[in-house]
Structure 1
């Protein structure tokens, strides 16, 4: 599946280039950054986007008016990201066509989860009920109860290996090779801590325990 293509329209260079874009890239999004409405319009003449993350206070446009323009002229997801968090502003943004309205400072995990939520509307995918599965190019894990959690690069690699061969043991060496270019320089405790954090993260987000079992001295297995 083609990675979701995101346009990030934010005139704060540090926030856009140093914080938001690296986080989105690390979670599987193809992201282009723009500092103005004019730059966005120019780029959209050359390539389509799945979602626009849009600041309200742009130097050359009103973000609410731009959201209305995008909503009326194309099929695209719109996530407004702004320091204006008054209820009236939030309601206006949603009325102008935004799929979501997030206030700064934004929680980065919430931003990623919101983008996946918007993508589900834009790219509906057939899912099998009552099983654990990866979707959206492997960047999102779906629990049997339908709840989803966005994955970072390392989590995606590890779960991809495990879910490719359900019921079979994946050796620690194979997982280390996926996470490092030099497995001999890879700290095995890093893998153990990552699996521990991943289990906790998934349980907190989905309310279900990931059926991942440790095979002592060998590796891990995803139970079916």
Structure 2
């Protein structure tokens, strides 16, 4: 688990040397992943505690493999829907633009809500991370009448978004101006919009 990232964890309570519930609590504190408990033992109290504190779903053995697969699929779908899929350990986390929730998630998982123009501009920048995008192309994302659009509105949009990100979550927006060109998203490959 320390050597690679993962999205889902299927976990038993009865582990050698440690309770699966303790493992689930530690994993939940360090990772944003889906946790499904699959166990043949465990009291009703443990089940309630597990679901409240760390588990996304709880299955009791014996369970058919189709039910396990459907549960994992359901948890993964819910995580994707809420923009929480594929988030990695702190050392590997990245900026994520949530396609459905209109939110920008920082590497520490705090988020900022976006309005329509901000969402459209960031979506275009995140589509080609590390590459400068021309100002005219970004302006075209928010208006169909380029000649009537004051280009200073683009600067103001990005300035206000930078300020809001800094004020709300204490982080610097990963967007920089490229003199004479436009703007660039300073994110790595794979830090685009979530599915």
TM-score, scaled to structure 1: 0.44
Conservation of the 8 A alpha-carbon contact between 1:162 and 1:221: yes
Answer 1 or 2: higher relative contact order, Cα 8 Å, separation at least 6: 2
| Structure number with higher helix proportion | 1
1:217 maps to: 180
Q: Distance in 1 between matches of 2:85 and 2:185?
A: 22
Which residue of 2 is the match for residue 127 of structure 1? 86
Structure 2: state its 5+ residue gaps: 1-77, 188-195
Cα distance in 2 between the residues matched to 1:123 and 1:169: 29
TM-score by length of 2: 0.50
Task: Report matched runs for 1:53-92 at 5 Å.
Answer: none
Cα distance in structure 2, aligned partners of 1:189 and 1:123: 34
User: Which residue does 1:152 correspond to in 2?
Assistant: 115
Q: Which contiguous aligned blocks of 4+ residues in structure 1 show a shift greater than 3 angstroms? A: 122-125
- What is the RMSD computed on CA atoms of the aligned residues? 2.2
Conservation of the 8 A alpha-carbon contact between 2:140 and 2:146 = yes
How many angstroms does 1:123 deviate by? 4.4
Aligned to 2:50: none
Shift of 1:138: 5.8
Aligned residues: 106
Equivalent residue, structure 1, for 2:144 = 181
Q: Which has the larger Rg?
A: 2
